[in-house]
Copies of this chain bind each other. A is one copy, B any other.
Amino acid sequence: MATILTVDAVLLTLIESELHVALFKRDSAPFKGVWALPGGYVHENEDDHAGAAAARVLLDKAGVVSPYLEEYGTFSGPARDPRGWSLTVVYYALVPAPVLGSSVQWFPVDKLPALPFDHAHIITGVVARVRSKAAYSSLPVFLCGEQFTVPELHAVYEAVLSEPLNRANFRRKLEDLDILEEVPGATRPGIRSRPAQLYRLRKPYRSALSVRERGL
C-alpha cells in the first residue's frame, strides 16, 4: 500500500474584523464538490520540499503567491482519509485582502460548513496558533496591506486576539518589536483629526506577498 503524503494550506484573512478561512470546492473524489482546505498530493517530480508543494497548491487552487507560508505541523493516521493511512503537512498564511479566484470562498472560522477529513480540527489548531503567536509577533501585520496607520494595525491585533488592547501599551510593544518604519512623507487623511502617519514593515520583515487572480 502506498503512503498518502499530502499538504494542506490554511489561508486566513480578516473580513469585518473577523478571521475568515479560504475554502474551495473539491474537484475530485473523495468528497468531490464539498468545501475543503486547498490541498493535494506532494509531487515528487516537481516539489523541492513539502513547503514547495503547499505553495504550488495555493497558486493552482487559490491563485495566491504567499511568501509567508509557515509550517503548522502534521496530521496523520489510518482513519483520516478513506484512501488509507495518510500524512498531511499543514501550512498557513495570513493575507491582507480576500482577492481570490472564483472557486475559493471565505468562511468565518467560527461558522464553517461541514468539512471532510480532519479539516475542521486542522483549522481549529491553526487559529489557536495564530492567536497565541499574535500577542508577541509580527504575524498580524501580514493581514494589513503594505502600508497602514498604527490605529489600523491596533484594530487588526484586537480582531485577531478577540480582546481590547490598551492603545499606549500597544504602541510601546510595537516599539519593542522594532519591526516597523515610517513611510517617508506618507499620511492618511484624518476625519476630524490631523493626518495619520503611514507605516510599513522594515525590510528584513517585509513581505513581498502578492495576490493574483486564479490562473487556471
Contacts and interface: CB of A to CB of B under 8 A. Distances in A.
A89 B73 CA distance: 9
Q: How many copies does the complex hold?
A: 2
Contacts of A75: 49
Contacts of A85: 42, 44
A73 to B, nearest CB: 5
A191 interface: no
A78 B3 contact: no
Contact of A71 (B49, B50, B73, B84): B73
- 5 closest residue pairs by CB, A with B: A44-B85, A49-B77, A50-B76, A49-B76, A3-B5
24 contacts: A1-B44, A2-B2, A3-B5, A3-B42, A3-B44, A5-B87, A42-B76, A42-B87, A44-B78, A44-B84, A44-B85, A48-B77, A48-B78, A49-B75, A49-B77, A50-B74, A50-B87, A71-B73, A71-B74, A73-B73, A74-B74, A76-B89, A87-B87, A87-B89
